[in-house]
Chain A
Amino acid sequence: MSIVSERLALFLLAVVAALAVLVAPWAAINRETGARSAVVLLPERVVDFTGRTDPVDLPAQGTVFVLTLVGLAGVGAGAAVRGRGRYLVWIAAGVVLVSGTLYGMNRFYAGVANARQQAFVNEVQRGLDNPRPTVDVAALEQVLAAAGERSLDENLAASADAGLVVRRLPYSNAGFGMSAFLALVVGLFAILFGLRWFPAASRAIDRLLRGAAVPAISILLALLAAAVVILALQPTPVGASVEIDGLFTYLVGRLDTLWYAYYSMFHDSLGTVNGFAESLKFSTPLIFTGLAVAFGFQAGLFNIGAPGQMVMGAIFAMLAGLYVPGPRLVVMPLAILAAALGGGLWGALPGWLKARFGANEVINTILLNFVAASVLLFILSSGNVFAAAAVRIIVVIGVFVALMIVLSLIRPVRALVARAPRVALAVGAVVLLGACIVAGLPQPGDTPVRLQMPFKVPGNEPKSQVLNAAAQLPQLPAMLGIQRAGVNLVSLDYGLLLAPVAALLALLLLPRWRAARPWSRRLPLALGVGALAYGVAWLLGWTSLPTAIPPTKLNLSFLLALLAAALVHVVLFRTRWGYELRAVGLSPRAAEYGGANIARNTVMAMAISGALAGLTATHYVLGGALEDYSLRQSIPTNDGFDGIAVALLGANQPVFIVASAFLFGVLKYGGSVLNITFPNLTREVVSMILALVVLFIAARGFLPQRLFDPRTWMGAESGPAKDDANQKRTTAAEEPT
């Protein structure tokens, strides 16, 4: 049984990819600033939107074209095959598609590299023909002679040493295009579905598809909706002399614009070390806020107050970082705890209001966001105020609060208040307000005083002073022993990265094999797999790869976020209290009957949720992610709202939250790349995508129910259900069993 009609899905994918091969760019040989491009379509058709790109000799296009079409035809034909034979057809077609596309990409990049090398040689030749005084002619001639044996980077460095800095080489942003990507995806899907030929793999794939269906489809729909916006906002960028004439050119231009928008959103993050580090940087606070929202959800509470809790955590962390003296070992943990405490208190307040008064936590957390924002603005701003009036108002409020506390301690008064009509209380509030206004009216003799907090920097800039060195969390490059990031290449051991991942994967997957289930066998086996992975990495030469370490602001906070995720997982799913909390979240009444203390759980859950949100300060304040190690008014509190999207996409499970936070980090960094790359697009496209993801996940009811409802697919695994229309449709698409 399959949860989707795999034959229909693959057939449609193959048709779409085939159409794309005909009209969508296969690759771009040149992308200028302003996103103008020159694109290649298979076979050997070039559409130039820049108007000044020289054609490049790209080998093997005809071969790749034929391989792609054959592969796609194979996938389509496989869908028509009845019986299990189709799986074998799909595997074969998929392998043809994937290898053909990869071969084509390889040839493409080789061709572009050749062209760049040639352009370099031309530049050097030109430099030799009219040498400038700074150029060392003899050295440059040597460079030219040896150019063929060296890589382009080495050549550039050598020519720079000889006094000729070659700045602008063409084809620098060459990359593959939409149709190549689609062919690759269809090929991978064909192989994936083809693997269902093996019964064990079939079950695993079904499970994977079920788990991933709702989030994947939600993201896909959000990206499709964003595509409409991108196309509407961004006309095809063309050079001055280029006119778009004809439907074909128009179509190619539109498809390329769309593709390049997504390409620039994802490529830097996933394809470059710097972009990857930046994405991790963006995802760090999202892990914290995602965990914060998820922790609330698990306890049946909706914490929309993460932005406010972030601010309070940041303020507390800043105070600790400025005023706690001592060595690093003491101050740093204290500052981190302060961040958690600030957020925790700010979160506990609405929790207490709910537990004590039944006030809705959704509204209160939102109101507290506004309060926190004005508190932050207040302590980081300076200005003239009539201090005497302010003191009078504070005295009035203080007297009022003290009176309330005293009165509430007297039992008969408390009973009276409890029975008082709401009008009386409203009148009380109005009286308080009036008293404040009267107290605040200027009196003769009041003089304005300048208000400035001691921790604020002098001047108008809304930021605090820089924290003590002892409170600053180290940046990750510094932790790896790299002091001058971005300057030189560092030899990195990628085996050390690969081995633990492989070991962890083995640890998770080994239980599928019955004999390896007990820990006594599982652990050594997993360690062996890790060692094997390291060995393979060593054979491939990955244990010392020269890498340019980017000047990233990624810091210890990222590791703290991962630690927090692990802790939340353990607390929620491995402790008695976590069980109680989730029970309260599922059914408060039943949990109370079972002995859970609802009020205490509500306050505690909100406090921990707030503390998690407050820990974002480890990134933004203690980690120095915003320019320097200080509290700034520009602290991006919207991360608190994005945490809702992260938590929903991650199904409130810490492991998936880390993954979805990474995805959102990629999107956020991608948004800033988009902002730079396209003249008409803004990074806000990304926040729209995030909101749409939440919307589609919330409305997942519009997807066929069998995609997300366990009840239907459990039936599906044990055999075809007889009276379910959906099941019947699936069965009809399958071969008779």
Chain B
Amino acid sequence: MDTVLLLALVSSMLRATTPLLFAALGGLFSERSGVVNIALEGIILFGALAAAVTAQLIEAPAVAQAANARVWYAPWLGVLAAMAVGGLIGWVHAVISIRYKADQIISGTAINLMGIGIPAVILSGLYGNTATSTPIRNRLPSWELFGIDGLAFNPLVYLAFLLVPITWFVVFRTPFGLRLRSVGEHPEAADSLGINVFRMRYVGVVLSGVLAGLAGAYLSIGNVNQFVSEMAGGRGFIALAALIFGKWHPLGVFGATLLFGAFQATEVLLGGGRLLPPTLVQSLPYVLTMVVLAGFVGRSIAPKASGKPFEK
């Protein structure tokens, strides 16, 4: 295998891993606090939409005057908007499943359904079509890894990988992390020690929304330059599978998302219609995810109170 192919494989693997990593780390915060967040997929879509629309609207006045106008802050504000919107949708999920004690899966599914319908409505209002947003011209900068030619990524990729040790430190080495884990394992005990179970869960779910929003921002303005309807393509669910596979531990999640990223990168290698029909290769990551899930899930132990509403 020559270097060019290897570099292409590595870089497409890292690119494919990034959104999965964001979303899976988000899921980690939520599930460690005891709330199953199947809404990740929908939140990714909302984040992607928010990032693309915000960046496009901010650069629009300048671009209208000069087509190659440089508005360096537009994509960054897009990223911030994605985090804010992701957090907001996460908060909606939190309110429904924590405050109103709804079935967390159903609440998440409702948000995923909204992720299909609402972006189309917003796009039609802004751009007159229901499928895509207007492409942005100002992209995030590209930074080379170790100065290697051909291995250049935008800052969100570095952020995703940086978040792994940060998450590990926060969850396992800070009082906040201890509280977060305790309300996910045994909320009654945590409550009796004076920890506000509801507040910890709100924080966990909103954080997961912020991170999933980042995943969306990466997909729409990091990886490409516009929002395309249903562009999450199941990454939210693959991230959940990676979370289970990675034993709800940041380092495990890191390994799992790398593996799934490699699955997705095979699309690049085998795809393009050269070797196998691309239509069939597209399904490979999903099949492999299922195989891995079936092989490992039995021995992964979820946070004990995950999925159960807390009754004080």
Contacts and interface: CB of A to CB of B under 8 A. Distances in A.
Interface string B254-298: 010001001100100110011111011011001111111111111
Interface stretch (B71-79, B106-114, B166-174): B106-114
Given A371-B283, A429-B291, A363 B237 contact: yes
Contact of A698 (B110, B238, B296): B110
Interface string A346-376: 0000000100111110111011111101110
A425 B121 contact: no
A159 B293 CA distance: 72
A694 interface: yes
B124 A233 contact: yes
Nearest to B247: A422
Interface string A254-277: 000000000000000000000000
A695 B234 contact: no
A5 to B, nearest CB: 22
Contacts of A528: none
Contacts of A374: 279-280, 282-283
B96 A698 contact: yes
Please classify the interface of chain A as helix (H, G, I), strand (E, B), loop, or mixed, using the class held by over half of its residues: helix
B92 to A, nearest CB: 8
A383 to B, nearest CB: 6
Given A232-B125, A359-B297, A367 B113 contact: no
A681 B273 CA distance: 38
A691 interface: yes
Contacts of B121: 229, 233, 682, 684-685, 688
B100 interface: yes
A644 B113 contact: yes
B3 to A, nearest CB: 15
A451 B278 CA distance: 12
B109 A694 contact: yes
Contact of B107 (A229, A429, A437, A695): A695
Contacts of A426: 255, 259, 292
Interface string A410-435: 00000000000010011001100100
Nearest to B295: A425
Nearest to A392: B275
Nearest to B269: A437
B120 interface: yes
A682 B130 contact: yes
B206 to A, nearest CB: 17
Nearest to B256: A426
A393 B270 CA distance: 10
A362 B38 contact: yes
A357 B103 CA distance: 24
B292 A390 contact: no
B231 to A, nearest CB: 13
A694 B110 contact: yes
A363 B287 CA distance: 12
Contacts of B269: 437, 440
Contacts of B10: none
B150 to A, nearest CB: 19
A687 interface: yes
Given A368-B290, A699-B100, A363 B275 contact: no
A593 interface: no
Contacts of B114: 688, 691-692, 695
User: For A368, A687, A700, which residue has the most chain B Cβ atoms within 10 angstroms?
Assistant: A687
A436 B266 CA distance: 9
B211 interface: no
B221 interface: no
B270 A437 contact: yes
B298 to A, nearest CB: 5
B240 interface: yes
Nearest to A438: B1
A171 to B, nearest CB: 31
Contacts of B270: 393, 436-437, 440
Given A371-B287, A700-B100, A684 B124 contact: yes
A358 B297 contact: yes
Contact of B279 (A302, A360, A377, A702): A377
Contacts of B266: 433, 436-437
B233 A370 contact: yes
B277 A695 contact: no
Contacts of A692: 110, 114
Contacts of A384: 273
Contacts of B113: 641, 644-645, 687, 690-691, 694
B290 A698 contact: no
B259 to A, nearest CB: 6
A381 B277 contact: yes
B244 interface: yes
B31 to A, nearest CB: 12
B130 A357 contact: no
B296 to A, nearest CB: 6
A703 to B, nearest CB: 9
Contact of B259 (A363, A429, A641): A429
B275 A386 contact: yes
A688 B273 contact: no
A603 to B, nearest CB: 14
B237 to A, nearest CB: 5
B105 A701 contact: no
A225 to B, nearest CB: 10
B116 A701 contact: no
Contacts of A685: 117, 121
Contacts of A648: 106
Contact of A304 (B109, B244, B289): B109
B312 interface: no
B93 to A, nearest CB: 10
Contacts of B199: none
A582 to B, nearest CB: 17
Contacts of A638: 116
A442 interface: yes
B296 A425 contact: yes
Given A304-B109, A359-B294, A699-B95, A451 B277 contact: yes
A455 interface: no
Contacts of A690: 113, 117
A385 interface: yes
B118 A422 contact: no
A433 to B, nearest CB: 6
Contacts of A233: 121, 124-125
Contacts of A684: 117, 120-121, 124, 130
Nearest to B237: A366
A248 B73 CA distance: 43
Contacts of B276: 385-386, 389-390, 393, 440
A680 interface: yes
A433 B288 CA distance: 9
Contact of B286 (A367, A644, A695): A367
Interface of A: 229, 232-233, 302, 304, 353, 356-360, 362-364, 366-371, 373-375, 377-378, 381, 383-386, 389-390, 393, 422, 425-426, 429-430, 433, 436-437, 440-442, 451, 638, 641, 644-645, 648, 680-682, 684-688, 690-692, 694-695, 698-702
Closest 8 CB pairs of A and B: A701-B100, A687-B117, A691-B113, A684-B120, A374-B283, A695-B110, A694-B110, A688-B117
7 contacts: A360-B244, A381-B277, A386-B276, A433-B288, A436-B270, A437-B266, A685-B117
Interface of B: 38, 92, 95-96, 99-103, 105-107, 109-114, 116-118, 120-121, 124-125, 130, 233-234, 237-238, 240-241, 244-245, 255, 259, 262-263, 266, 269-270, 273-277, 279-280, 282-283, 286-299
